[in-house]
Amino acid sequence: MLFNRDNPHWYFSEARELSSEERSEITDKYNELTRKMLTTDFRDIDEQFYGIKPSGDLTEEETASKRKKMLIGAVAGIIIFAGLIIALILKQLLIFGYAACAIFLVVGISVMVTGKGDRIESTSRAGLNRIIGLFMALASLMIILLIIFRGRFSSGEFFILLFVIVFGLSGLGLLIVTVIKAFSGKLIYKDEITATCAGYVRYVSRDQSSNGYNRVHTFIHTSPLFKYSYEGTQYEAVYDEFPVKADSDIEPGQTVVIRIDPGHPENIKSPVTTHPVAIGFSIFMGLAFIGVAVGLGIYTAGGYAAGTKVDTKWNPLVEKINGNNPDLVDITDDYMTENYIDKQFPGKEWYYERGVVTGKEQVEGGTAIELSDDSFMRILYTDNTAPEPGTELLIFYVINEENLQYGIRYKNSVSTADPNKFEYVGTHGAYVMTPAEPTK
């Protein structure tokens, strides 16, 4: 890439190695620049913080029109992002899925057409960007089709196929990009020329680890500043991709052989693209992603996931906004059957509904409670845990056939639970008396 002296993110130095004080100085400048960006008009970010000048000589009217369009675009982006958040809060997964896929589809097509990725990158990377954009657009389109035909799959199959699309296309795209980078010397950077090291250019990046400690790691990237001539034109350029290290292996004034893109002579091949460790790791990850996708695809195609369901869990903040308690303990059908029904009434059909305590009385052997629904038999508590009148309960019960003919006291409670502590997540419901059955 051409060396842009107006880019404040790039720090030029004639020192091949940096002392600890110099490293701290570069990091401090980066921190100060980051804080300043937060208080700068976003329409001036490119010019003030990346040294990107407006293309062409624009009149005041053209400049004002461009800034207005940027403002409209930013507002539209904020509205779309807010819509996605609201869709999540309201649990409108369908709306969220369509909107998110549409956004990625548009971005993918845009990158595929323009070849532009980051603000600062070489023009020789346009081909790689187009490949990434293509796979992004393909993934979005396939997920949209999966959502449209979601009725043909169980919830388990749907999520498995979603992973198949994401892992499969990500792995394939990673492999293709890695191979192109590995052979970039023959495919892109075809010409070898000699260049002189005239100094060093560095920039700072950060990455937050996900190991639970939320640590922020700071990295310094370094490239020699090369001076060379190609077909009568003088160039000052740096690697298209900076290695992650604070010091350089090339001495000041040293003459070295570099590979450039003859179509864009300012673009220099980086040693990062052909580093064995980077290539090996990328190929391994690509094959691993494809392997996972193929395995899940075979599992689904074989019918093993048919009828499976996925119980989605929402972020606690979303649950609280919706008035739900994310800390409730789930009661499943299997748990209730194995621990209560099979032990007291093996093989018997059971039901579930909510009820309210209306009375409480001391009887022989414990405390009996009455429920607002007189179809329930009195429930006996042998300890001191009987709920007070007005308390709502989750009630799991079976039917007493002898009392059913009278239409009263035919629901026999097997277990109860506090709805403030437990949540039933199964499929059983209340018993419904059929018209053929007598009611008295």
pLDDT at 302: 84
Q: Determine the structural domain holding residue 354 and report its residue range.
A: 329-424
Segment 258-265 shows an average pLDDT of 89
CA nearest to 394, candidates 420, 364, 360? 420
User: Is residue 61, in this structure, part of any structural domain at all?
Assistant: no
Q: Is the pLDDT of residue 289 over 90?
A: yes
Percent of the chain with pLDDT over 70: 82
pLDDT value at residue 200 = 93
Is pLDDT at 184 greater than 70 in this prediction?
yes
Q: Does 342 fall in a domain? A: yes
Residues 152-164 pLDDT 10s:
877 778 888 999 9
DSSP character string of 340-376: IIHHHSTT---EEEEEEEEEEEEETTEEEEEESSTTB
> Within a domain: residue 380?
yes
Q: Looking at beta carbons, which pairs linking 317-321 to residues 24 or more positions away fall under 8 Å?
A: 318/88, 318/89, 318/91, 321/89
Q: Which pLDDT does position 440 carry in this prediction?
A: 46
Q: Which tokens belong to 274?
A: 């052909």
Residue 390 lies in a domain: yes
> Which of 318, 298, 301, 285 has the alpha carbon at shortest distance from 87?
318
Burial class (CB in 10 A: 0-12, 13-18, 19+), 18: buried
Instruction: Say which residue, 233 or 180, is predicted with more confidence.
Output: 233
Q: How high is the mean pLDDT of the chain?
A: 82
CATH number at residue 346: 2.40.50
In a domain, 11, yes or no: no
> Does 196 reside within a domain?
no
Per-residue pLDDT at 397 exceeds 90: yes
Contact 68, 74 (CB under 8 A): no
Q: Would you say residue 143 lies in a domain?
A: no
In this prediction, residue 391 carries a pLDDT of 93
Please count the structural domains in the chain. Answer: 1
Question: Could you tell me if residue 366 is inside a domain?
Answer: yes
Q: What angle do CA 301, 302, 307 make, to 5 degrees?
A: 85
DSSP bridge partners of 357: 371
387 or 206, greater pLDDT? 387
pTM equals 0.56
